[in-house]
Structure 1
Amino acid sequence: MKTVVKRGSWVRGAVAAAGVAALAVAVTACSPKPTTVAGSPIAVTTTISGQQAGDGGGSTDFRAEVGDCVTLGGTMSAAEIDGAACGSMDSNYKVIAKASANTQCPSDADQVYYETLGSREQGALCLDIDWIVGGCMSVPAGDDEPRRVDCTDPTAPSVERVVRIIENSADIEQCTEGGFAHPERRFTVCTESVTG
């Protein structure tokens, strides 16, 4: 019997209040020049230095390459995955590496999708949230997956707007409000909370 499984690990860090005023003056944009998605005003960051970890082998029934985006849902023990255009409303993750076992994914990957046959793991897709500078994601606590939302959607819980992406640093203190650090691959997604 084949089983598809997922495990997540994203945690938002907050900036200490004392450093915010001084930091706000020193903030400069360091993400690449944005493009737009299919006429949408949402800016897309297509590459983040150090984000992708490569193809470490393994195989899943769902075919995806490093750099592809997906929609991941379902439960922890019965995951559902499908391809999606990066930056689209359907996309919630980007494939940042492939591995023969989920434990071989970068330790700071936001999510892992893997398949087992019997009790033997067949392969894993290492995933990061498909962040878009200027765009919003609902990033609820618990087992719910993040999903792209309109920044003004009053019904979406825990909405975070991406302010910028800092490369070569995993220091949340460099963000004005907070964000998501990736210490192994050394980048930080700076966000602002739109709704709680």
Structure 2
Amino acid sequence: MDGTATAAGGTTTTTATTAANQVGTDGGGDVDIDVEIGECVRLGGTMDAATISEASCGSADSNYRVIAKAEKNAQCPSDADQVYYEESALGRELGALCLDIDWVIGGCMSVPDGGDDEPQRVDCADTHVPGVERAVDLIEGATDVEQCTEGGFVYSEREFVVCTEQVRPL
């Protein structure tokens, strides 16, 4: 089975402090990695040749939190940050992991703008990394970034916002 990482149509998300609406359900499906909802992973590689491994949430290795499981990637929340799914040799989807960025309040992530790059946890003081955002708050029941001081990532389907401050632009 080959894994495929597909960017979802949403924005970006949270961790360490998890919104009540952030975590979904186990809708079935089967992928080779054995992770539960709420656990974290390290997703890398490319869209056609994704790599995925277990990682401790909030660690330097973790870049996504599993927020739901599904039989097909289209069953993930529309505002999930990323979807990892596996297909049979005949191209039939076998299962999907719905993923949000593993934000840690006070921690920094390098958040790429499109392409095959995945977010990476970084030291907030590292001046060599572009596109760095520091998570500063999580607001439940919100559907717009206006409640944040500087900016953030909106999850309108699940109604929460991760407020961030830009440490370094892209």
TM-score by length of 2: 0.93
Moved over 2 A (4+): 9-12, 44-47
d(CA) in 2 for partners of 1:104, 1:11: 17
Aligned to 1:67: 38
Aligned to 1:94: 65
State percent identity of aligned pairs.
60
**Is residue 149 from structure 1 mapped to residue 122 from structure 2 by the alignment?**
yes
d(CA) in 2 for partners of 1:181, 1:47: 14
5+ residue gaps, structure 1, are 13-43
**Is residue 8 from structure 1 mapped to residue 7 from structure 2 by the alignment?**
yes
**Is residue 133 from structure 1 mapped to residue 105 from structure 2 by the alignment?**
yes
Deviations 1:50-69 (A, max 9, x none): 10011000010111110110
5+ residue gaps, structure 2, are none
d(CA) in 2 for partners of 1:3, 1:120: 11
Counting matched residue pairs gives 164
CA contact (8 A) 2:142 2:160 kept: yes
Matched residue type, 1:190? C
Q: Looking at CA atoms only, which structure, 1 or 2, has the larger radius of gyration? A: 1
d(CA) in 2 for partners of 1:163, 1:68: 21
d(CA) in 2 for partners of 1:170, 1:110: 16
CA contact (8 A) 2:16 2:102 kept: no
Residue 82 of structure 1: which of 48, 53, 71 is its match?
53
- Higher share of residues assigned helix: 1
**Is residue 169 from structure 1 mapped to residue 168 from structure 2 by the alignment?**
no
Deviation, structure 1 residue 138:
0.2
Aligned to 2:75: 104
TM-score by length of 1: 0.81
Aligned to 1:120: 92
Deviation, structure 1 residue 149:
0.3
Deviation, structure 1 residue 141:
1.1
Deviation, structure 1 residue 170:
1.7
